[in-house]
Amino acid sequence: MVLRANAVEHEESATNAGKFSMTDQAFVQAGDTVAIASDHAGLSLKETLREDLEGMGFTVLNLGTNDETSVDYPDFGRALADAVSDGRAKAGVAVCGTGIGISIAANRVPSVRAALVHNEMTAEMAREHNDANVMAIGARVVDVDTARACLRAFFTTPFAGGRHERRVAKLSAA
Ligand code: RB5
């Protein structure tokens, strides 16, 4: 029921805002730097998404991991969040097995809003309502095509502003 109500609201706002393209209203423009990081469980998907980001015209800051040696997702979530927080990157993509651990780690850094997405709708809503600046995703949860669709949706959807500005501001006010 809640999901259905949200879907209707989302449809209405998408209709009002029209079709978005990366060259006008998007929060990150071609040429901007986007950071990406994963643990070992997210490595393969991270590499696919890294190539897609490059194909979208972004400069990619790859923060690892870069081989299948078992590593700890908090280290990579923190490295990614630091890059977004200190301005080395305008946005980020975080991948682990479920996306849960690395999103928790990233969200411990002030000014980072990491959203765990599972499909195009959640990727769009993360931008439109939450102004998320990090997309987190689980390589063991979604298939590669879905993850790629999430990436495109996340990076082409602008923040809707309006009533959402107040709510997003409250996220950093605590
Ligand atoms: C690694 O096995 C796994 O725990 C990690 O990738 C992630 O899913 C944690 O949230």
Query: Tens digits of per-residue pLDDT, 79-111?
Result: 999 999 999 999 999 999 999 999 999 999 999
Say if ligand 1 is within 6 A of residue 101 CB.
Answer: yes
pLDDT of residue 6: 38
Whether pLDDT at 8 is above 90 = no
pLDDT of residue 14: 37
Distance 53 CA to ligand 1 centre (A): 23
Q: Which of 10, 118, 129, 150 is catalytic?
A: 129
Per-chain mean pLDDT for the chain: 89
- SS3 sequence of the chain: CHHHHHHHHHHHHHHHHCCCCCCCCCCCCCCCEEEEEECHHHHHHHHHHHHHHHHCCCEEEECCCCCCCCCCHHHHHHHHHHHHHCCCCCEEEEEECCCHHHHHHHCCCCCCCEEECCCHHHHHHHHHCCCCCEEEEECCCCCHHHHHHHHHHHHHCCCCCCHHHHHHHHHHHC
**What is the rounded CA–CA span in Å between residue 28 and residue 58?**
8
The 10s digit of each residue's pLDDT in 152-164 is 999 999 999 999 9
Measured by CA distance, the residue closest to atom 10 of ligand 1 is: 101
Whether pLDDT at 77 is above 90 = yes
What type of residue is 23? T
With bands split at pLDDT 50, 70 and 90, how would you rate the model's confidence at 174? low
Active site residue 150: no
pLDDT of residue 173: 78
**Which fold is adopted by the domain 27-173?**
Ribose 5-phosphate Isomerase B; Chain: A, (3.40.1400)
Q: What pTM does this model have?
A: 0.88
**What is the rounded CA–CA span in Å between residue 164 and residue 73?**
30
> Token pair of 61, please?
């800051």
pLDDT of residue 26: 83
pLDDT, mean of residues 42-61: 98
Active site residue 164: no
Measured by CA distance, the residue closest to atom 5 of ligand 1 is: 97
Distance 76 CA to ligand 1 centre (A): 12
Say if ligand 1 is within 6 A of residue 41 CB.
Answer: yes
pLDDT of residue 24: 62
The 10s digit of each residue's pLDDT in 11-29 is 434 333 333 355 467 899 9
Distance 44 CA to ligand 1 centre (A): 14
Measured by CA distance, the residue closest to atom 7 of ligand 1 is: 97
